[in-house]
Amino acid sequence: MSANQETATRVPPGQTLTQGFPVLHYGSVPYYNDMSLWNFRLFGLVEEEVTLSYQEFIALPRQEFRNDIHCVTTWSKLDNVWEGVAVAEVMKRVKLKPEAKYVMLHAEHGWTTNLPLEDFLKETSLFALKHNGELLTPDHGYPVRMVVPHLYFWKSAKWLRGIEFMASDKPGFWERNGYHMYGNPWKEQRYDFD
């Protein structure tokens, strides 16, 4: 396979490559001036709720991840390098109740997105702190965003503040507004009628 053909196999149907890094979100960008007010909560179907402070979160062991991202508005961006915390690292700190099967990601300003627990726990999912060597900018989700590269990028909540563990699937912000409940880019699960 030529380099071009190989690249083509990495781009899902209906997507176009971009070299830039577009900024997309609903509402305003949060700016933080006192990180002591920031925390990260694991709640819902857990034996005991866990709250991590900013200092505790940034002290978690980090890894480097490389992946491709696919936005439902049809841009894809290959070879992103993220520094972040593996989901498994955070999950060492919480015990789930057996009924937990789905998660709701909770971001600043009440923005949410839902996904199956299994997809959240995938080894490729991460809590990102840096993109291509630089701290996340406010636009891209500072201080922490989720990255779930195998689903459309709207599942990758910016300004993440908590994970809620749930027994059944519930729609998040865009899912209530017509986006697909799962969002597999390889099946073009863009909107709920796809």
User: By CB under 6 A, is residue 154 in contact with ligand MTE?
Assistant: yes
User: What minimum distance in Å lies between the beta carbon of 92 and ligand MTE?
Assistant: 25
User: What minimum distance in Å lies between the beta carbon of 72 and Mo ion?
Assistant: 5
Binding piece for ligand MTE, criterion CB under 6 A, among 21-29, 35-43, 48-56, 89-97:
21-29
Return the HEC string of 37-106. Answer: HCEEEEEECECCCEEEEHHHHHCCCCEEEEEEEECCCCEEEEEEEEEEEEHHHHHCCCCECCCCCEEEEE
Nearer to Mo ion, 71 or 94 (CB): 71
Contact characters 81-110, ligand MTE, x per CB under 6 A: --------------------------x---
Q: Give the Cα separation of 179 and 57 in Å (integer).
A: 31
Q: Give the Cα separation of 168 and 170 in Å (integer).
A: 7
Applying CB under 5 A, which of residues 142, 154, 159, 173 lies at the interface with Mo ion? 154
Nearer to ligand MTE, 57 or 154 (CB): 154
Is residue 18 classed exposed, middle or buried when 0-12, 13-18 and 19+ CB atoms within 10 A define those classes?
A: middle
Residue type, 50: V
Applying CB under 6 A, which of residues 156, 161, 163, 185 lies at the interface with ligand MTE? 156
Applying CB under 6 A, which of residues 62, 106, 158, 190 lies at the interface with ligand MTE? 158
Applying CB under 5 A, which of residues 11, 50, 71, 96 lies at the interface with Mo ion? 71
Q: Which of 180, 166, 172, 193 is nearest to 46 (CA)?
A: 166
Question: Using omega within 30 degrees of 0 as the cis cutoff, is the peptide bond preceding 30 cis?
Answer: no
| Size of residue set near Mo ion by CB under 5 A | 4
Both tokens of 40, joined, read 């990260």
| Site residues (vs ligand MTE, CB under 6 A) | 21-26, 71, 107, 111, 140, 153-154, 156-159
| Site residues (vs Mo ion, CB under 5 A) | 24, 71-72, 154
